[in-house]
Structure 1
Amino acid sequence: MKNAVTIMSWNVQWGRGADCRVDWHRIIAEIRRIAPDIVVLQEVAQHYPELPDNDDADQVAILAAALPEYAGCYAPGIDTARSDGRRKRFGNWLGSRHPIRAWRSVALPAPPATTAKWLPRTAVVAEVAIAGRMLTVVGTHLEYYCARQRMAQVEALKRMVVESVPSGEAQTGDAQAGGSRKGIVPPAVLVGDLNFSPQSPEYRALAAGNRWVDAWTVAHPGKPHAHTVGLHGAPWPDHPYCCDYAWVTPDLVAQVVAVEVCTETAASDHQPVVLTLSWPE
């Protein structure tokens, strides 16, 4: 579609398919098939052989080599030193065909957990220049185990949205690489595996307050969310449901053209979600 921007979000489970086989060729092939302007991936690992069926590969380097047309940035939530001097990392990766004027990794809140397990979480925030205008793209993967932490992260993503910016700043993108502005500057998109269902308290909290609008409800009014996980017989989960989303700030609602869940691929336990926005040249 001419005068449009496509944003793809996918929890790739470190390249591990529904068949429990790690194969980055399948992941790359699906990204190339969809050919988005911006791609946001969750669960990308570096030197993390402890993950089920994984090896010691640097998956950020795999993405850079396979997708040279995308400028990439990586925001790991887990980042620990190994005895061999390498870093073991796990988190969110964002790639863009358009110039990234600034980006940063934001640590999301982790209040004391009410569960035995929890993982540190981040959001990657990138300010992307598209046809002379700026779009802020936020990619994240919220807490799975602890509902208390997940709700705190939802509230943080709402607070981060900037209500107003100095005239022209949101469009000129004058921040330097690494990110000098705080908050999320509209127009903005929030994508990722949010680890809650459309019926959950966290969903209702994110939708409240007119900070974020679920783009699915704009593109498919009155229709249930398509399932984004559990479609192809992976060991987890035991039933299909929706936990992967695309949200937009209210100023982008009129530009939502489509939200699609790509149901055919089994290259991960999750399905890709693709948001299409109209975009003036």
Structure 2
Amino acid sequence: MRKLPTRLLVTFVGLLMVLPTAADATARGNDQSDRPGRPLKVMTYNIHHGAGIDGVLDLERIARIIENSGADLVGLQEVDRHWSARSNWVNQPAWFAARLKMHYAYAANLDLPPLNPGEPRRQYGTAILSKSPIKHFENTLLPKYPTGEQRGLAVATTKLRGVDLRFANTHLTSNNNAERLEQAQKVVELLDGSTVPTLLVGDLNARPAAPEITTLTKVWRDTWAEVGAGPGYTSPAENPAARIDYLLHTRKVEPVSAAVLTTNASDHLPVIATYTLS
């Protein structure tokens, strides 16, 4: 058998020693995407069942906002699942998860039977999207007055940046201050006391000085108050005049930056924040 020249053989062996295998490359890529200390991006967005202020129902428009933000975790409010003709009977949380290649969990706070036998149930509520698998999920219904609409607290547990993390998403009532305060108190009861790093996001339908908000910010830190610039108004989208969409965090989650994104895709504006996990 013909032998390779000594110089060529040494060069070839050297290359084998420094080139990674396919498995090594994959593992390294995963480490880069979810390595400890890497910033974590989180979004909260009331999507108004996909209808923008222009009256157009367009899930793709919302998906692009989420995609372009680079969010790792997203809390969505006002999400339809086979709800009605207003959203073309689409399973919206499953659609977003497939389009964005993310894991999801859905909380059906309104859950009605189908119009016709054999069709899916008609549901409306909140959704959580996550780049990492969701290890545990639970939705707890919040206090509701006789004339109110049922709301809930959706809590997902996942592992991001090598850290176990609780991600809670809610949408408090819009038209009754006392009911909303009871809902906030229930959220504290359900979430407080855990040592697991926690993020609480959602459309809370109240301004920062309201009792229902201070009930929450006595327990969790207000991300926008710490690192946001300007008033942080999110509603109404066409002429924002109130900050009612929030990201709150525990002390093991350190905020780096926060921004309100400008878009006409919903009647609310989304809020995106960046954190580091300790």
TM-score range, shorter chain: 0.7 to 0.9
CA drift of 1:144 comes to 0.9
Aligned: 1:157 with 2:184: no
Tell me the TM-score normalised to structure 2 length. Answer: 0.81
Q: Which residue of 1 aligns with 2:110?
A: 78
Aligned: 1:225 with 2:231: yes
User: Highest Rg: 1 or 2?
Assistant: 2
Match of 1:49 among 84, 90, 94: 84
Q: Which residue of 2 aligns with 1:182?
A: none
CA drift of 1:192 comes to 0.7
Q: Which residue of 1 aligns with 2:163?
A: 133
**Counterpart AA for 1:198:** P
* Structure-2 separation of matches of 1:274 and 1:72: 18
Q: Which residue of 2 aligns with 1:194?
A: 204
Higher percent of residues as helix: 2
CA drift of 1:224 comes to 5.3
CA distance change for structure 1 residues 140 and 272 in 2, over 3 Å: closer, same or farther? same
* Structure-2 separation of matches of 1:132 and 1:214: 24
Q: Which residue of 1 aligns with 2:139?
A: 105
CA contact (8 A) 2:217 2:248 kept: no
CA contact (8 A) 1:128 1:134 kept: yes
CA drift of 1:118 comes to 1.9
1:5-16 matches, cutoff 5 A = 5-16=40-51
* Structure-2 separation of matches of 1:266 and 1:66: 20
State the superposition RMSD in angstroms.
2.0
* Structure-2 separation of matches of 1:159 and 1:224: 31
* Structure-1 separation of matches of 2:231 and 2:183: 22
CA drift of 1:99 comes to 2.4
Q: Which residue of 2 aligns with 1:278?
A: 276
* Structure-2 separation of matches of 1:162 and 1:193: 19
CA distance change for structure 1 residues 198 and 162 in 2, over 3 Å: closer, same or farther? closer
CA contact (8 A) 2:163 2:277 kept: no
Q: Which residue of 2 aligns with 1:206?
A: 216
Aligned: 1:123 with 2:169: no
* Structure-1 separation of matches of 2:252 and 2:98: 36
* Structure-1 separation of matches of 2:46 and 2:107: 14
Identity percentage over the alignment?
A: 29
CA distance change for structure 1 residues 45 and 231 in 2, over 3 Å: closer, same or farther? closer
- Range with greater deviation from structure 2 (87-96 or 128-137): 128-137
**Counterpart AA for 1:5:** L
Please list every run of 5 or more consecutive structure 1 residues that lacks an aligned counterpart in the other structure: 165-184, 234-238
**Counterpart AA for 2:257:** A
* Structure-2 separation of matches of 1:232 and 1:5: 29
1:255-266 matches, cutoff 5 A = 255-263=254-262, 265-266=263-264
